[in-house]
Structure 1
Amino acid sequence: MSSTVSPMADVKVLETAADLSALREEWEELASRCPEHRLSQRYRWAAVAWRTVAAPRGRRLHILTLRSGGRLVGVWALVSHLDKGLRVVRQLGAESSEYTEPLVEPGPHQGEWFERLWKAVRPLGDLLFMPHVRSDSPLARLTGRFCLRCFVDNELNAPQILRAAYPDWEAYLATVTTSHRSNLRRKRRRLSDLGKVTFRREVTPVDPATIDAILAHKQAWIERRGYHNEWLAQREYRDFLCAMTSDPQAPGSLCLFLLCVDDTPVAFQIDAVDDRRIEGLIGCQDPAWGRYSTGELLLQDSLQWAFQHNRDIDFRIGDESYKSAWARLDCLTFNCLVGLSLRGMAVVWLRKIAKGLQTLRFRLGLGRLRHVLRRR
């Protein structure tokens, strides 16, 4: 929906949990006027994240609201904390893998409103940390305009599938390699020999014990492969997932997909499903069923569900091989550190210089030379 209100908009900073609760109705109305919004931009995500993640960690709340003609046209829920004497601001959320982006009503003035919110962050602290900014977002364009204040790193792809690019599921499936399709059919037949295989979306509250099992399976998988994850084992993230799956019928909730054999769950997938897309958050399989690749079979079933319900698919950040087997497009994402104060700007420029020197050193071959000298 295009906005017809005046571009002149007033920014206000709200700082209490009561302020957050009072915004619920207006926030949801704003989301309904933003057809491209994600689940992580909705009120429920922010409210649950404040209760289960930010408040327990002692964060300070800052909710930027943007109004034009009295109507809420933009909201950016932020929190801040002290780190080595500097106040660091970041988006309110699970502090895991969600994208950073304010919710701003689309229309001819959207760019101006994004900039108003961007500038309103400056008095809140020394640094603004924005993880997982999508390169196709208005926020990314602002980081380009204010590049002297920004340090960008950790550039990673977010693979995706656009539903509109294919007439139906069968047309899309034909783009998957013949060997991959054949392998999945073989494994599904083998699994079917052990019992009735079913796929379902959970519609009842998810037992916290199920969340615990999913996180344990995922953490074990990460450790076996020598990967590192900073937030998966944190109590606050577990509490966030439990709260977001406690009422699957509530607007803005996460959903759980299951693959079962004779009603026994053998693979699990927690996803964020909105009106436009399905975003994969955590997928895992029971190790006892690992030889049948039940996690891959569940992924296939969830992709088919997305096609049947006219949803795009966002595999989220990372270039894991299982994603490349299915995805056909990538969107670059990056982390961005923004200097808000003079002290914050000093940190940003020190990081820029360090990164520049590191790049120069390897371009000149000094890194290889040092390695050769050490061997001698």
Structure 2
Amino acid sequence: MNDSNIRLDIIRDEAAFTALKSEWELLWLKVNGRYFQRYDVSLLAWLHVAKPRGRALHCIVMRENGELCLVWPLVTHRRALWRYLLPLGSDSADYTGPLMEDRRDAAMLVERAWKAARAECKADLIRLPYMNEGSAIHRLAQREKHILSVQKNVCWIAKLHEYSDWATYTKSLGALFNKKPGQLERRLAKEGKLEVFMMDPKNRKGIAEVIHWILATKREWAEKVNKKGAWLFSRHYENFLVATLTYGGDNAPARIHVVKFNDVLISACIMSHGNPLATGVISGFDLKYSQYKPGSIAWEAAIKWAFEQGYDVDFCPGSEKYKDYWTRGNRSYTWSINVANNTWGLLGYRAASTAKALIAAVKGLKPGSKEATAESGRTGSLPQDPVSE
């Protein structure tokens, strides 16, 4: 890399951000970018999540001889006395990683972008969720002096392109819940009127109703298994999901499949378009119909659609059984790392950890104080973690 040919800028206003559209989209197509790296998905995350929450934009852009070669949208926000830096996203299980060309000096480009983010965005604490293991940004984060917390998650990719047709692929899978693909749908169809279909992206009202329903079912499920996330209660995340299914009409970034039984909605799931890697975004099902595994029926429809489009499928981080099944066990790992960017951030982390331990002691609970491992990560809390709104 000849530094004299590489220019780095940090875009902080919306007009300049949207002006990147054409060259961002060209770069995304050229390098087989992923769903979270799409221009329109990043724009919708800004318009529906980050901007309404008062966050500040810091989009790192690098050009070589005037041609875009890296783009990494980040945001900052203040909580109490500390400023956080994190990737622009939906605030759910979004990956971290810049969109860039695959080139020999890629690691040096990412390092330069990382140093600029640390120096120019004026953050005390940095969140780097779901970095693919071994990626350039993951390797950089691992080397940081003040790592506050580390979490490892399994993630899954179905390599659908390896199969000549749907029948060959499904025959390779074995059984899920003691049923082969197609059997769950056929069984439920014998019980009443069954409809499995993809919604029209122009039906914004209907899609909004289904998204509201999905999040309600997810909250019910989360209550049952005690696995809650702030995004489940966020109106901003709900608006973002609706936008990804309707923005651009037939060219919307994602599509939604629904399952109705006797005219009652019982499951739905969202699958993005791919390049060629699609993303399984979110699903929900009615617990009253759990014996029929309606979520599996919705996922099968979405995966078959992805297969027909020529996509592979990224099922994102999580240990759910269906992910292992549909990917034939093709797993890898992501790492989420929180970093103190300065002494003030480090002091804030220590103060929050001390306060958490004291509260636990007052409640008669044993404070968690085990040392970090590669699997469990470091214990502790960041000051004033974001909460639901």
TM tier relative to shorter chain: 0.7 to 0.9
Distance 1:285 1:338, change over 3 A: same
Which residue identity is paired with 2:302?
S
Unpaired runs of 5+ residues, structure 1, are: 362-376
Distance 1:189 1:163, change over 3 A: closer
Rounded Cα–Cα distance in structure 1 between residues aligned with 2:176 and 2:321: 15
The answer to whether the Cα contact below 8 Å between 1:151 and 1:351 also exists between their aligned partners in 2 is no
Rounded Cα–Cα distance in structure 2 between residues aligned with 1:72 and 1:178: 46
Rounded Cα–Cα distance in structure 1 between residues aligned with 2:243 and 2:284: 20
The residue aligned with 1:232 is 232
How big is the shift at 1:98? 1.0
Query: How many aligned positions are there?
Result: 356
How big is the shift at 1:176? 2.8
Q: How does 1:31-42 map to 2 (within 5 A)?
A: 31-35=28-32, 37-42=33-38
Distance 1:132 1:360, change over 3 A: closer
Query: Aligned pair 1:126/2:124, yes or no?
Result: yes
Distance 1:7 1:281, change over 3 A: farther
The residue aligned with 1:157 is 154
Which residue identity is paired with 2:174?
T
SS of residue in 2 equivalent to 1:147? coil
The residue aligned with 1:331 is 332
The residue aligned with 1:142 is 140
The answer to whether the Cα contact below 8 Å between 1:89 and 1:129 also exists between their aligned partners in 2 is yes
Q: What do the CA deviations read for 1:90-120 (whole angstroms, capped 9, x no partner)?
A: 1111111110111112222322211111111
The answer to whether the Cα contact below 8 Å between 1:41 and 1:102 also exists between their aligned partners in 2 is yes
Distance 1:347 1:162, change over 3 A: farther
SS of residue in 1 equivalent to 2:85? strand
The answer to whether the Cα contact below 8 Å between 2:62 and 2:68 also exists between their aligned partners in 1 is yes
The answer to whether the Cα contact below 8 Å between 1:256 and 1:269 also exists between their aligned partners in 2 is yes
How big is the shift at 1:79? 0.8
Rounded Cα–Cα distance in structure 2 between residues aligned with 1:311 and 1:333: 21
How big is the shift at 1:260? 3.8
How big is the shift at 1:204? 2.7
Which residue identity is paired with 1:143?
A
The residue aligned with 2:23 is 26
Query: Aligned pair 1:49/2:49, yes or no?
Result: no
The residue aligned with 2:113 is 117
How big is the shift at 1:134? 1.3
Rounded Cα–Cα distance in structure 2 between residues aligned with 1:315 and 1:65: 28
The answer to whether the Cα contact below 8 Å between 2:44 and 2:244 also exists between their aligned partners in 1 is yes
**Percent identity of paired positions between Structure 1 and Structure 2:** 27
Rounded Cα–Cα distance in structure 1 between residues aligned with 2:158 and 2:4: 34
> TM-score of the superposition, structure 1-length normalised?
0.84
Q: What do the CA deviations read for 1:34-87 (whole angstroms, capped 9, x no partner)?
A: 11x112111111211111111111111111111110111111111101234221
Rounded Cα–Cα distance in structure 2 between residues aligned with 1:70 and 1:178: 53
Query: Aligned pair 1:59/2:55, yes or no?
Result: yes
Say which is worse superposed, 127-136 or 173-182, in terms of deviation: 173-182
Query: Aligned pair 1:93/2:92, yes or no?
Result: no
Which residue identity is paired with 1:32?
L
How big is the shift at 1:121? 0.5
Say which is worse superposed, 256-265 or 228-237, in terms of deviation: 256-265
The residue aligned with 2:341 is 340
Say which is worse superposed, 331-340 or 52-61, in terms of deviation: 331-340
Which residue identity is paired with 2:275?
D
Say which is worse superposed, 11-20 or 218-227, in terms of deviation: 218-227
Instruction: Say what the alpha-carbon RMSD is for the aligned residues.
Output: 3.1
Rounded Cα–Cα distance in structure 2 between residues aligned with 1:281 and 1:242: 12
Rounded Cα–Cα distance in structure 1 between residues aligned with 2:272 and 2:176: 30
Rounded Cα–Cα distance in structure 1 between residues aligned with 2:332 and 2:69: 26
Q: How does 1:174-253 map to 2 (within 5 A)?
A: 174-178=171-175, 180=177, 182=179, 186-195=183-192, 197-205=194-202, 206-207=204-205, 208-247=208-247, 249=249, 251=251, 253=253
SS of residue in 1 equivalent to 2:304? helix
